[in-house]
Amino acid sequence: MAKNVVVIGGVACGPKAAARLRRLNAQARITVIEQGEYISYAGCGLPYFVGGDIKEFEHLFATAAGAARNAGYFQKVKDIQFATRTRAESIDRTAKVVHAKNLATGESIEFPYDNLVLATGSRPFRPPVEGLELKGVSFLTKVEDSVFLREEVNESKGGKAVIIGAGLIGLEAAEAFRKKGWQVQIIEMLDQPLGGLMDFEMAKAIDNALFENNVMTAYGEKVVRIEGDENGHCKSVITDEGSYPADVVLVATGFRPNAELAKSAGLEIGPTGGIAVNEHMQTSDPAIYAGGDCVECRHLVTGKPVFVPLGSTANKHGRVIGDNIAGLESRFPGVLGTMVVKVFNMNAGRTGLTEREAAEAGFDPVCSIAPGFDKAHYYPGSALIGLKLIADRKTEKVLGLQAFGGGEVARRVDVAVAAITMGATVEQLAEFDLGYAPPFAQAVDAILNAANVANNKMRGVTRSIMPQRVKQMIEAEEDFILLDVRTPREYEMGHIDAPQTMNLPLGELREKALSALPQDKPIVTMCKISQRGYEAQRTLAGMGFKDVAFMDGGLFVWPYPDDVM
Amino acid sequence: MAKNVVVIGGVACGPKAAARLRRLNAQARITVIEQGEYISYAGCGLPYFVGGDIKEFEHLFATAAGAARNAGYFQKVKDIQFATRTRAESIDRTAKVVHAKNLATGESIEFPYDNLVLATGSRPFRPPVEGLELKGVSFLTKVEDSVFLREEVNESKGGKAVIIGAGLIGLEAAEAFRKKGWQVQIIEMLDQPLGGLMDFEMAKAIDNALFENNVMTAYGEKVVRIEGDENGHCKSVITDEGSYPADVVLVATGFRPNAELAKSAGLEIGPTGGIAVNEHMQTSDPAIYAGGDCVECRHLVTGKPVFVPLGSTANKHGRVIGDNIAGLESRFPGVLGTMVVKVFNMNAGRTGLTEREAAEAGFDPVCSIAPGFDKAHYYPGSALIGLKLIADRKTEKVLGLQAFGGGEVARRVDVAVAAITMGATVEQLAEFDLGYAPPFAQAVDAILNAANVANNKMRGVTRSIMPQRVKQMIEAEEDFILLDVRTPREYEMGHIDAPQTMNLPLGELREKALSALPQDKPIVTMCKISQRGYEAQRTLAGMGFKDVAFMDGGLFVWPYPDDVM
């Protein structure tokens, strides 16, 4: 007898599970319930629709071949029924029936199932502040949000947008607003953008990109309320430190899984608040699968449950669910929390664990911050990228990578994804036979170089020191030499302005170090990207200087731009 | 006592080994012997110097920070002595002495060593044809070659260049000549460019890029001789099929390792003709190391020795050699034969084994050809890339990847490099948590999609057929239906012109297939990129059609452009 499969949720995981099941099983009756009007849309594209990169509303719903992914398309091409504007209200697991309501007519409908798929997605977190209901205050998670915001930024020219939250959506939206000529103010509770996703010194580079593109930022401020005018329209955002005028307020403070339906049906909910599933994407009820933004995933490095809602993961979940319902055993092993983002002319990304996460998870992290060129440095258009590789001292395995820069970043992130997933050590990563030609990489690719530096540190071949620690040493007025080994011309164009700073170019080091540098003081060598800094560290150590370290990342990653004169 | 280390060869591996050793060992006396005038230059950049992408001669020798990497630089910064214009003539392994000759003065010099490093590089293969000595005939491997060619293409406008060989150098040079407005004719013995590196249908895409950029190609032709004029300058290239006028002839027919010095010293030479080394890059004499273009490497998939000269590998070798001489144990595991190349507006790459190589090596290759977009298809600037993934049916491990397209290709190649190196199966690859955001990838990245398709084939979930086989079926006038399921408009704009071709759009398939298609004939479904073709295959199979397969790669990878009307 043909299976009856009901899917709740029609955006990413739901339609994918339905389509995959149909390709494997021609007989199953497949129905997708969706409370909204729109189905199978590109939720991740919404910020680009607001900013106008995506010109037409229809593009958010079109297949690569240009067909509109509406209910008719799914019916005709895939023999999948959609019930839109229909809300699932409860699940009777004993009778195997979903009780739903047609939101247009108010009518109750029952959907019997043999297998049920929960793809109920996530919703934006609503911070506990007054004024979220005011006109002009929006989230950016639904198609309707993007239509509203696009109309707002197009209608009035030169308005003021306040974005609450410097996460992915906040950053992408900042670029969209700026493209339309709006003033943008970001307010973020933490002291950096992408808090939790990137370590401080790497996130600061993103902050610099915001600064250079005239996005104003207020870190470490907490929003207290949004104030409205006499028409019920937002007027300003009030924080614990100030007030920011706002024609539009975008609230982008993260997501929460829509797990209520599952919870009230008695299904197990995980510690993150997402629906708990096994490797087959099965909930605690074997007849019910769940995937996409409403579930929690296993982190592949820590083994712990995490909530990382992402369209790419939702698609993987859908496929695995379709497989398993069709009787084809299939597993979803977990995630690394990978993200890539474009912030104006900067690309950034991360995967695995940050230094802080690694330490918290009980690893002994060894980090290398190794900037390098994305192409051969002499090839036109080559650009510097900053990489931070995190590895475990004990197992020498790669734990995480963070990257930013004007050049190609996603490639290095994806290589790290593969390395971490497969349990590669830094030594194994360093020998990867990655593609090389001048338009694509240095002869030693930036990520291989980062692996070499981490390996050097693990094997005690070199000593280095993080920029934050150097900053502390400067502020504590410690007695050390911050030796900038760049050329005098580079030095004049900008260096760390501190009493400890001294310029002695690498080319003169062997000749002059013994006379110019004291043997009894700690020396921290540095340059632009820490390559010459490293060479200088090795040179001075070789000459007998006892306490020499180079500063990780050089000036390119130095997170305190105000110190550079 | 300080070690005496002599390095023969001053371009890539040699200087790297010397520099790495110096960083680990401040005492060693390090001397590099180089027969040429130039040292530590970017050999891979030479084609870009010819074409003018690299403007200044000096850029080929400069560090990223702009310092000139000449003998003075190595002396001052790294305490490494260079003896340029000095040729090593023989090695006395008993006395541990290199006998050399100063090419400027004719004087004999002895270099005693404790450890010797052979980094003698490779030389271009000289095909056995008359006329190689004529003026205007050049290779492109040395700095002097690139200077000659750059002057040639700049001096006379609109000349005719004949390139013998459609390998990497040949393709890069073709672009360089075209940039200067020259007519370019490539002559290649095999029936495709990048023979051996890519399977036929993938290489054809590169041929299309050449065609679109007005590079003339003659495949399957063998050069017989080069004819000169009365001034001893080349005039034309004569093949077994015709004659091609030539103002400049570039010979780019591969490389041979410079292993003669090693051989005459009694060191073991491998089956490829390269110097045999172990994982520590030691030759059969433990005091002598060798690396770079003069050695053979182990292929990481087959375990067999291969000769793949490449700047990236030479740098890795140098580092490992420096480590081991310094007493830091370090290994070079092998290569995958990875390459990436820019051919005009197309990027291409490959790693691991081709389908043919996999079959020859005794694997049972399962291949998926899965084109996809390099970014979200709705994101501005997204472009199609064609991926061919090769996996082993028995172990399900990934064996190789080939890729081409106007979009980002190197990232997918590098992910495959990591996957193959670490022994990932297609199922593991399909679940990699790769970076996703609309400016960087589809929600299901193209390489994950390729892994899914390969997995489908292995698990018998779908059936497909390679384009070459479809071509055979057409030519043999077999009785089958080539079902193009694109829209009528797409079909009109270009389709495979064969009696078996029929157009029935995917959207009408469920409704009309039973009446429009015979149940008793084989059906091959196809579309632009084989996504709808696959959907159609599943749909028809589900409707009871017995013999349905989709055509791998769709029209995007169809290697016979003349058939498309």
| Nearest in space to A129 (alpha carbons), one of A240, A273, A258, A15 | A240
- The span from the CA of B70 to the CA of A200, in Å, is 39
Closest CA to B457 of B537, B542, B544, B341: B537
Judged by DSSP in three states, A453 sits in: helix
pLDDT in tens, B502-520: 999 999 999 999 999 998 8
Q: Is the dihedral of CA B315, B319, B322, B324 positive or negative?
A: negative
C-alpha Rg value of chain A to the nearest Å: 27
Chain B residues 382-411 within an 8 A CB cutoff of chain A? 408, 410-411
Q: Which residues pair with B225 in a beta bridge?
A: B130, B238
Grouping H, G, I as helix, E, B as strand and the rest as coil, residue B269 is strand
Please provide residue B80's backbone torsions phi and psi, each rounded to the nearest 5 degrees: -120, 130
The DSSP output letter for B58 is G
For residue A73, list chain B residues with Cβ-Cβ distance below 8 A. 507
Beta bridge partners of B291: none
Name the packing angle between helices A200-212 and A467-475 (round to 10°).
90
* B342 part of contact set with chain A, CB < 8 Å: yes
DSSP assigned state of B10: -
Phi-psi region at A460: left, alpha or beta (left = phi > 0; alpha = psi -120 to 50):
left
pLDDT band at A155; cut points 50, 70, 90: low
Helices (H) and strands (E) in chain A, counts: 17, 31
8 Å CB contact between B264 and B176: no
pLDDT at A101 over 80: yes
Average pLDDT for chain A? 96
Are B486 and B505 spatial neighbours (Cβ–Cβ below 8 Å)?
yes
Both tokens of A164, joined, read 């609450």
Chain B contacts of A378, Cβ < 8 Å?
Answer: 42, 45, 48, 54, 59-60, 62
Per the residue annotation, which of B44, B234, B294, B367 is the catalytic one?
B44
- DSSP H or E segment with residue A14: helix A13-24
Q: Which residue of A has its CA nearest to B411?
A: A411
Taking contacts as CB-CB distances below 8 angstroms, the residues of chain B near A333 are 428, 431
Please state the φ and ψ torsions of residue A395, each to the nearest 5 degrees: -90, -15
* Distance, CA of B98 to CA of B167 (rounded, Å): 36
pLDDT at B41: 86
A71 has a chain B CB within 8 A of its CB: no
Transcribe B455-514 into DSSP letters.
Answer: HHHHTTS--EE-HHHHHHHHHTT-S-EEEE-S-HHHHHH--B--TTEEE--HHHHHHHHH
Mean pLDDT of A314-340: 98
Q: How far is B284 from chain A (nearest CA, A)?
A: 23
B418 to chain A, any CB pair closer than 8 A? The answer is: yes
Higher-confidence position of A196 and A282: A282
Q: Residue B444: which of A315, A421, A538 has the nearest Cβ?
A: A315
Quick one: pLDDT at residue B156? 66
Segment B290-297 shows an average pLDDT of: 98
Q: Which residues pair with A367 in a beta bridge?
A: A390
For tokens 């996130």, the residue is A203
By C-alpha distance, the chain B residue nearest A16 is B444
- State the complex-level ipTM: 0.97
Helix intervals (H) in A214-334? 260-264, 311-325
pLDDT at A156 over 70: no
Distance (Å, rounded) from C-alpha B47 to C-alpha B252?
A: 12
**Mean pLDDT over all residues of chain B?**
96
**pLDDT tens-digit map of B141-153:** 999 999 999 988 8
Q: Model confidence at A387, in pLDDT bands (50, 70, 90)?
A: very high
Residues of A with catalytic roles: 44
> Which tokens in the block code for residue A505?
């170019």
Residues of A in contact with B379 (CB under 8 A): 45, 48, 53-54
User: What chain A residue is nearest to B412 in terms of C-alpha separation?
Assistant: A411
Please, are residues A236 and A246 in contact by the beta-carbon 8 Å criterion? yes
| Residue A101 CB burial class (10 angstroms; 0-12, 13-18, ≥19) | middle
Question: Residue B66: its pLDDT value, please?
Answer: 83
Pairing of strands A346-352, B398-405: unpaired
Cα gap B203→B193, rounded to integer Å = 6
Q: Inform me whether the pLDDT recorded for A66 exceeds 90.
A: no
Taking Cα atoms as reference points, which of B437, B382, B426 lies closest to residue A350?
B437
The Cβ of residue B10 has, within 10 Å, a number of other Cβ atoms equal to: 29
pLDDT over 70 at A142, yes or no? yes
What pLDDT, in 10s, does the model give residues B343-355? 999 999 999 999 9
- Nearest CA to A290 out of A302, A310, A275, A300 is that of A275
Tell whether the model's pLDDT for residue B10 goes beyond 70: yes
Asked whether residue A158 carries a pLDDT value surpassing 90, the answer given is: no
Residues 6+ apart with CB under 8 A from B170: B163, B164, B186, B188, B193, B250, B252
DSSP-derived 3-state class of residue B211: helix
Q: Please report the pLDDT score of residue B130 as a whole number.
A: 96
Question: In this structure, what are the phi and psi dihedrals at residue A498, rounded to the nearest 5 degrees?
Answer: -145, 155
Does residue B134 carry a pLDDT above 90? yes
Residue B94 vs residue A520, higher pLDDT: B94
* Contact criterion met (CB < 8 Å) for A435 and B418: no
Nearest partner of A262 among A98, A103, A113, A36, judged by Cα: A98
Distance from CA of B333 to the nearest CA of A (A): 7
Name the token pair of B141.
């491997």
The minimum CA-CA distance between B479 and chain A, rounded to whole Å, is: 27
The candidate with the shortest Cα–Cα distance to B485, out of B501, B469, B471, is: B501
Q: Nearest to residue B62, comparing CAs of B83, B92, B39, B93?
A: B39
**Assigned token pair, A388:** 């931070």
In terms of pTM, does the model score above 0.90? yes
Range of weakest confidence among A473-487, A535-549, B49-63, B225-239: B49-63
Helix axes B410-421, B446-458, angle to 10 degrees: 50
Q: Show the tokens assigned to B51.
A: 């074409």
Confidence class for position A63, pLDDT limits 50, 70, 90: confident
Q: Could you say which residues from 12 to 51 on chain A have a Cβ atom under 8 Å away from some Cβ of chain B?
A: 12, 22-27, 42, 44-45, 48
**A378–B45 C-beta distance less than 8 A:** yes
Amino acid letter at A293? D
Going from the C-alpha of B500 to that of each of A12, A370, B540, the distances in angstroms are: 38, 58, 18
* Three-state secondary structure string covering B91-155: EECCCCEEEEEECCCCCEEEEECCEEEECCCEEECCCCCECCCCECEECCCCHHHHHHHHHHHHH
pLDDT digits (tens, 9 = 90+) for A408-441: 999 999 999 999 999 999 999 999 999 999 999 9
DSSP string computed for A34-78: -SSS--S--GGGHHHHHHTSS--GGGGGB-TTS-B-SHHHHHHHH
Q: Which residues of A413-428 are buried (b: 16+ CB within 10 A; e: fewer)?
A: bbbbbbbbbbebbbbb
Residue B230 has pLDDT above 70, yes or no: yes
Distance (Å, whole) CA B215 – CA B233: 23
CA-based nearest distance A411→chain B, Å: 5
* Residues making up chain B, counted from first to last: 565
Confidence grade of residue A205 (pLDDT, cut at 50, 70, 90): very high
For the stretch B441-498, pLDDT in tens is: 999 999 999 999 999 999 999 999 999 999 999 999 999 999 999 999 999 999 999 9
Sheet strand arrangement including B115-118: B81-83, B29-33, B4-8, B115-118, B288-290
Exposure string (b/e) for B399-419, b if CB count within 10 Å is 16 or more? bbbbbbbbbbbbbbbbbbbbb
Q: Amino acid identity, residue B554?
A: G
What is residue B1's predicted lDDT score, i.e. its pLDDT? 67
